[in-house]
Structure 1
Amino acid sequence: MEKTFAMVKPDGVKRGLIGEILKRYENKGLNLVAAKVISPSLDLLQKHYEEHKDKPFYDDLIRYMSSGPVFAMILEGDNAVKMVRLLNGPTKIEDAQPGTIRGDFCTNTTFNIVHGSDSVESAKREILLWFPEYMNKI
């Protein structure tokens, strides 16, 4: 079974969407392996988003992700990485179709509700960042 990292971002938590989002993942056959509500440290966010550090939106992204708690989770299932990405929908609000999490709940591209790992390799890295206790389980 493939594992992936997913997260309900601060705007999703503030809007009370954790249950609805988790339900969509579970309805697609993904199993919740671990979850926690966490107010991420600056260090954790910088490590998580290190590939974006030279991009113009990086500071706004870190500020947004520091604005409140997130719901971090490990999901498991067949093609878990791809399934979460499909359920989440595209990052840009104008590309997110109704029926996807972003298409149904996003209000703008900056506040895009959810995160899902973009590859199996990224999933492993992100799981270890957010859930270091799973070091020997992935």
Structure 2
Amino acid sequence: MERTLIIIKPDGVARCLTGKIVQRIEDKGLTITKMVKTTLETPKVEAHYAHLKDRPFFSDLVAYMTTGPVILLEVTGENVIQVMRNLAGPTDSCKAPAGTIRGDFGTSVTQNVIHASDSVEAAESELQRFF
């Protein structure tokens, strides 16, 4: 049984999409084992996105992720990382197909409603960071 981190980002929380996103996760047969609503602090966001620190959008991303509450989820299930990546859709909401969370609810590359861990190693590290 795999586990992964999902973050419903500030735009998703502000637009009252939490229930719809949780429903989609549960409809896939996945289990939400932890759920916390919080506002992220800059150092934690910087650590989370450290792999992007040299990118020109890094400071805007950090600022965005600290603008308001997020929902942190630990989700478990068989092949959960790949299932959630497919359910989330591509990072760029404009390129994400209808039926994916980002395709249906995202508005840009940054305001794309959801973060989903991309590997077992990343999931374990991210879950430790946030839980």
TM-score, reference length from structure 2 = 0.98
CA positional deviation for 1:110? 2.0
Aligned pair count? 131
Aligned-pair distance for 1:99?
Answer: 0.3
Distance 2:40 2:89 in 1: 24
- Would you say the 8 A contact 2:94–2:107 is kept in 1? no
Look up the match of 2:2: 2
Partner residue, 1:106: 106
Instruction: After TM superposition, give the deviation of residue 109 of structure 1 in Å.
Output: 1.9
Q: Which aligned segments of 4 or more residues in structure 1 are displaced greater than 6 angstroms?
A: none
User: Hey, what's the Cα distance between the residues in 1 that align with 2:130 and 2:55?
Assistant: 23
Unaligned ranges ≥5, structure 1: 132-138
> Percent identity of the aligned residues?
44
- In the other structure, the counterpart of 2:56 is 56
Measured in 2, the distance between the counterparts of 1:18 and 1:44 equals 22
- Residue 5 of structure 1 aligns to a residue in which SS? strand
Work out the CA distance in 2 between the residues paired with 1:125 and 1:110.
Answer: 22
For 1:36-69, what per-residue CA distance to the aligned partner results, in whole angstroms no more than 9, with x for missing partners? 0010111111111111111111001001001101
C-alpha distance in 2 between matches for 1:102 and 1:72: 17
Q: Which runs of no fewer than 5 residues in structure 2 stay unpaired? A: none
Q: CA RMSD in A?
A: 0.7
Give the TM-score normalised by structure 1: 0.93
